[in-house]
Amino acid sequence: MHSEAGNLPLVELDQPFHNLIPSRFPPVAVYERIAEGRDELFTAIEEMTNPRVREKERLTRGLASVDQDQPRFKNWNHAPFVYPNPEGSRFYTADRNVVELADELQTALAISIGRRTDFLRRTAEPSTYLEMRQIVRPVRGTYLDATSWDGMEDRARRLELGKFAVDEKLDGILFRPDERRSARCVVVLKAECLGRPVQGEHFKYMWNGQAINAFFSFRTDTVYDPKLLSSEDKLLAA
């Protein structure tokens, strides 16, 4: 694999990428429903055992001189590298925390809806809806360019490619996702490669008990068919 991966080019990235996270619309404070105005107290109690907060303290060693407003310490950038994914990711097993992002919102939606569908089917959820928020942040660094690689269907080869990126101390891998083969995604290995995250659009996924058969944009008041997300055509209104 090292000879195979060694033949792939490297690419320098400095551009925005997207993903979606669970949210509420309109946004509400985390403990609003139960805190009765004591949100700060509830937050302080939760942070006593919060692994993200503990890891941030370890990285800064409690030094006030460390700029804790750095993008790498923002929750949406820091959390993926602290909370493990028990199923792993495309190029890594569960023992390595990474974040996967898409170069377009449409691609991020296709990936997000696919993963939420898998989860809801496993848990046999009745009809419901999920509210999700777009997060956009710059991605910078040196990445292995696997956009023309023929090994994406082979899990073992993907894991070997991931190991190569780590061994070579690269910042991650650029690839084409199965959910939308015309698009590009990136797996990022280091939180310091992520710029300041900003909130984008809010969406509602409609789950009918078997599938997410529609999603709704709060910005445009438009309902979309998720089956169209994989198309090369632009689905979302500008």
Q: Where are the domains of the chain?
A: 2-228
pLDDT at residue 63 in the model = 47
Q: What percent of the chain has pLDDT over 70?
A: 76
pLDDT at residue 66 in the model = 43
Work out the angle at residue 100's Cα, subtended by the Cα atoms of residues 1 and 172, and round it to the nearest 5 degrees. Answer: 40
SS3 at position 62: coil
Q: What is the pTM of this model?
A: 0.81
pLDDT at residue 199 in the model = 93
Question: Does the pLDDT at position 73 exceed 70?
Answer: no
Q: What are the Cα distances from residue 154, in Å, to 90, 134, 175, 197?
A: 10, 30, 14, 32
